């Protein structure tokens, strides 16, 4: 009999999830000036409020609104609802900061960096994004098409008929919403965007009747599946090395034109990497969906803190976007109804999938795996992916049959 957890997991209840949809804003010069003035005012208000919150140690939204709401509106000329959104943005920033401090992302308590980050108020860039809600921003998208208009509050008055364009699929999602919740106005590299958060039903995850598709992540091969498919990282690594050489050459010039070109190129590598990760994750999820399997991936949390590398290898590891690839795999699998599990990666590259023999000498090189017991020879990444797939089955069995999971003795 299945456990209560399994029955709840596979019940037909529709689960609502949040999804962010980005559209581009095409304002006229007058509208762009009003939007820019709005960002400057709201971010100045958020920085002032942050200083007051830090000085008075008031971090709860209820306390902040009670103490500073009236003064915030009077000092910066904000309407009622935008003032509430500024308070919410500032409180959320402190919530994130406290979570990072507790997680040790700014060093251990008592360290210089921990004290420096936690001992000063948060400051907001003059052009940082500003959240709006349905009272401050409304959409007019029509029935079909690639665009529409929005009406939004600004410090110079309400703007109407501001043009927006976007992907037809994203606009169809927006049109399907009766009410669109929080929307962030973002200004980046001279381009305006709206990031809208919508509620969509998540497809029910299908039980992996045919096992799991194991995925081994790496640098030479970005991803290798237990089916033997390899997504080579040579193209991405060559591209990154070329970008690094170009950055060094431009930084050495120290001219105005070099600085302008550096600023223009600063997001190019990030976009290229994200595109590669999108293609890889899309292919893996499509294969798992087609074959009725789940996806098993390594849990690589904290790998940068655990691994000790030589100095020439550090840049390669720290520019490896494995976390982004894992996120893409997860959300694409959720959309397709494919189950994803994370498994312990320990010794997956040293274990023979055929006989289970574990020895670091089994991995003769980066690419070659040869078992010292049964003489199995194969590609090292493929062997690791097969081990990950097997661990995915074990992990799923513990979820579906918790009474059969091993019980660890107290030490």
Per-residue pLDDT tens over the stretch 147-202: 899 999 999 999 999 999 998 888 988 998 888 888 999 999 889 999 998 888 77
Give pLDDT, residue 15: 67
Q: Which fold has domain 212-404?
A: Nucleotidyltransferase; domain 5 (3.30.420)
The CA distance from 216 to 369, in Å, is 14
- Please state, as a whole number, how many other Cβ atoms lie within 10 Å of the Cβ of residue 111: 12
Dump pLDDT digits (tens) for 236-253. 878 888 888 888 888 898
Give pLDDT, residue 222: 85
For the record, the structure tokens of 404 come out as: 């059969």
For the record, the structure tokens of 5 come out as: 């957890």
The CA distance from 16 to 201, in Å, is 5
Distances 320 to 1, 80, 242, 270 between C-alpha atoms, Å: 43, 44, 15, 11
For the record, the structure tokens of 115 come out as: 């004290």
Report the residue count for the chain. 411
Give pLDDT, residue 291: 92
Could you report how far apart the first and last alpha carbons of the chain are, in Å? 31
Beta bridge partners of residue 107, listed in sequence order: 105
Measured at the alpha carbon of residue 367, what is the angle toward residues 362 and 369, in degrees to the nearest 5? 25
Beta bridge partners of residue 195, listed in sequence order: 22, 184
Burial bucket for residue 288 (CB in 10 Å: 0-12, 13-18, 19+): buried
C-alpha dihedral sign at 236, 242, 247, 248: positive
Give pLDDT, residue 384: 92
Give pLDDT, residue 314: 61
Domain boundaries, the chain: 1-202, 212-404
Q: For 310-349, b where at least 16 C-beta lie within 10 A, e where not — what string?
A: eeeeeeeeeebbbebbbebbbbbbbebebbbbbbebeebb
Give pLDDT, residue 17: 74
Q: Which residues of the chain carry a pLDDT beneath 50?
A: 1-13, 403-411
C-alpha dihedral sign at 400, 404, 405, 410: positive
């Amino acid at each position: 009999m299945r456990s209560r957890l399994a029955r709840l997991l596979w019940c037909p209840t529709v689960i609502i999830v949040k999804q962010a949809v980005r559209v581009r804003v095409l304002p006229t010069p007058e509208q762009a000036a009003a939007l820019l003035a709005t960002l400057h005012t709201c971010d100045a208000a958020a920085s002032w409020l942050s200083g007051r919150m830090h000085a008075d140690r008031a971090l709860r939204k209820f306390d902040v609104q009670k103490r500073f709401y009236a003064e915030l509106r009077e000092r910066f000329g904000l309407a009622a609802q935008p003032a509430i959104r500024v308070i919410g943005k500032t409180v959320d920033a402190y919530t994130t900061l406290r979570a990072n401090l507790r997680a040790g992302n700014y060093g251990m308590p008592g360290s210089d960096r921990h004290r420096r980050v936690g001992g000063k108020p948060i400051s907001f860039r003059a052009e940082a994004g500003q959240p709006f809600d349905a009272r401050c921003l409304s959409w007019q998208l029509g029935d079909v098409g690639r665009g529409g208009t929005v009406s939004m509050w600004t410090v110079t008055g309400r703007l109407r008929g501001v043009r927006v364009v976007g992907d037809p699929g994203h606009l169809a999602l927006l049109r399907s919403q009766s009410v669109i919740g929080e929307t962030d106005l973002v200004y980046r590299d001279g381009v305006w965007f709206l990031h809208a958060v919508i509620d969509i039903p998540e497809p029910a995850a299908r039980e992996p009747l045919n096992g799991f598709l194991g995925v081994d992540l790496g640098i030479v091969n970005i991803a290798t599946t237990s089916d033997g498919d390899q997504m080579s990282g040579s193209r991405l690594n060559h591209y990154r090395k070329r970008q690094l050489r170009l950055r060094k050459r431009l930084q050495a010039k120290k001219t105005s034109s070099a600085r302008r070109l550096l600023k223009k190129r600063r997001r190019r590598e990030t976009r290229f990497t994200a595109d590669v990760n999108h293609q890889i994750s899309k292919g893996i999820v499509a294969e798992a969906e087609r074959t009725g399997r789940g996806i098993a991936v390594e849990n690589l949390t904290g790998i940068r803190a655990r691994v000790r590398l030589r100095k020439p290898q550090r840049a390669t590891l720290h520019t490896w976007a494995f976390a982004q690839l894992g996120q893409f795999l997860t959300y694409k699998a959720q959309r397709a109804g494919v189950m994803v599990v994370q498994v312990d990666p320990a010794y997956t590259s040293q274990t023979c999938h055929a006989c289970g023999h574990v020895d670091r000498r089994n991995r003769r090189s980066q690419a070659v795996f040869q078992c010292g017991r049964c003489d199995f020879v194969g590609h090292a990444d493929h062997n690791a992916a097969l081990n990950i797939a097997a661990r995915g089955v074990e992990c799923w069995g513990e979820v579906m049959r918790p009474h059969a999971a091993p019980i660890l003795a107290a030490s």
